[in-house]
Chains A and B, each alone.
Chain A
């Protein structure tokens, strides 16, 4: 009986978290579209997410493209399909690898920093201070970050698409001996707008998830340094899990026929 009660408690706690997260997301979204707006803070968050994440996302993309070219060449040569390397690289990068890997890298970099910053503000009563200074914490802290995540991760993924394909091109041309112009022609030949658009849709959703989880866990952190540490970990883990789940959902919506 205790076992059943324990399962019930866990389930109720889970539902309570889902409810609180949904309410948090709904409130934050409503504050994105209602004035006052904080363009300076939004711009700062956009620079933090978009500009300062470029090196890590770029590195991830270039090496992923390079590895992909090597792996697919090695595998496809078994059934004489080496010519498909460029197509495989571009489709894998644009549809899957750029949004998912960029999402995971940004979750580690930005989600963690948001949770730590907002969490520290919570435990040092800075968020309460905002309220007493007639400033809504959702508008001031959460809405700019959500908007920046929503807008900037697609930009990052677009850059990652280009860098990833370039990585594949470098390996394809300089290591595997492909003709440069035919590699580029094969890259473009089977690429369709939906491949890029589906990746950017994922990126926008992932960007929103990363900012949401960072802000949510930071906002509700408790208990000093340990609480902020837990919030940081939880924000990264929950964002990563949600990215993987939503990756499947969006893929199924676009290509699930």
Chain B
């Protein structure tokens, strides 16, 4: 029996002025599944995630989460919906003015109204889960290295034990060893939570490690979706060119915006 769909995108279109970013994207993510969207820079991967989160509003199509339509959702309903989500941003997006533990506890205190002492204890526990000492909780994000910031961002994303977690380029800017550490943490943390995850990356090592299924986004459409183990024999020349990082092939780099 297949798990019920947690997130469903149907014919999603999003443009910025004349630039078409999503051109009829279709995708279904089952409950507890880990799907990774791959694709070149500027192909609309982040736009896709932000459309699901309601940060951007597509012009056309449908996005449902647990069967509830997200596009055009009112502010209160959206705030309620957001309680299901956690997200790790590409640049970590930690709040500069708050200490590390306050960043991790933010969703618990502000989003769920938990008292500060209890939230502090959970934040320290989550920091330990991503390999950071309690003392790191008293630092400010600017005092941390890029890898440590990613760990804090991961701790923040999982702090509320969300049902759905989004990872936006989780390994960008990290050295290969730290990238692998982050990938391991992602797999470990999401398995423990039983969360549904949707990640975007152009790091194939990361995609292979964290994905159950991989989808390739090209020119606003998901041109190939399949099991992660099938990626090397997808039979799709676009996917082949991308995963092998070849300059020659059907994907032509647009040198002008």
Residues of A within 8 A of B5 (CB): none
| Structural contact, A131 and B55, CB atoms closer than 8 A | yes
Residues of A within 8 A of B90 (CB): 125
How near does chain A come to B256, taking the closest CB pair, in angstroms?
18
Question: Of A124, A125, A133, A135, which is in contact with the most chain B CB atoms at under 10 Å from its CB?
Answer: A133
Contact of A133 among B54, B55, B82 (CB under 8 A): B82
Band of interface residues on A: 10 to 19
Kindly list 4 other residue pairs between chains A and B, CB separation below 8 angstroms, not including A125-B91, A126-B94, A133-B107.
A125-B93, A128-B53, A128-B55, A129-B94
14 residue pairs of the A-B complex, CB under 8 angstroms, read: A121-B95, A125-B91, A125-B93, A128-B50, A128-B89, A129-B87, A129-B93, A132-B53, A132-B87, A133-B82, A133-B110, A134-B82, A134-B110, A140-B110
Binding site for A on B (CB under 8 A): 50, 53-55, 75, 79-80, 82-83, 85-87, 89-91, 93-96, 106-107, 110-112, 156, 160, 166
| Structural contact, B93 and A126, CB atoms closer than 8 A | yes
| Structural contact, B55 and A134, CB atoms closer than 8 A | no
| Structural contact, A132 and B85, CB atoms closer than 8 A | yes
| Structural contact, B53 and A134, CB atoms closer than 8 A | no
| SS class, residues of chain B in contact with chain A | mixed
Chain A residue with the shortest CB-CB distance to B95: A126
Residues of B within 8 A of A129 (CB): 87, 89, 93-95
Residues of A within 8 A of B53 (CB): 128, 131-132
| Structural contact, A125 and B82, CB atoms closer than 8 A | no
Residues of B within 8 A of A140 (CB): 110
How near does chain B come to A135, taking the closest CB pair, in angstroms?
5
Give 4 closest A-B pairs by Cβ, nearest first. Answer: A134-B111, A125-B93, A129-B93, A133-B107
Residues of A within 8 A of B54 (CB): 131
Cα distance, A129 to B90, chains bound together (Å): 11
Q: Indicate with 1 or 0, residue by residue over A137-157, a CB within 8 angstroms of chain B CB atoms.
A: 000100000000000000000
Residues of A within 8 A of B111 (CB): 133-135
How near does chain B come to A94, taking the closest CB pair, in angstroms?
37
| Structural contact, A134 and B79, CB atoms closer than 8 A | yes
Cα distance, A127 to B146, chains bound together (Å): 20
| Structural contact, A132 and B82, CB atoms closer than 8 A | yes
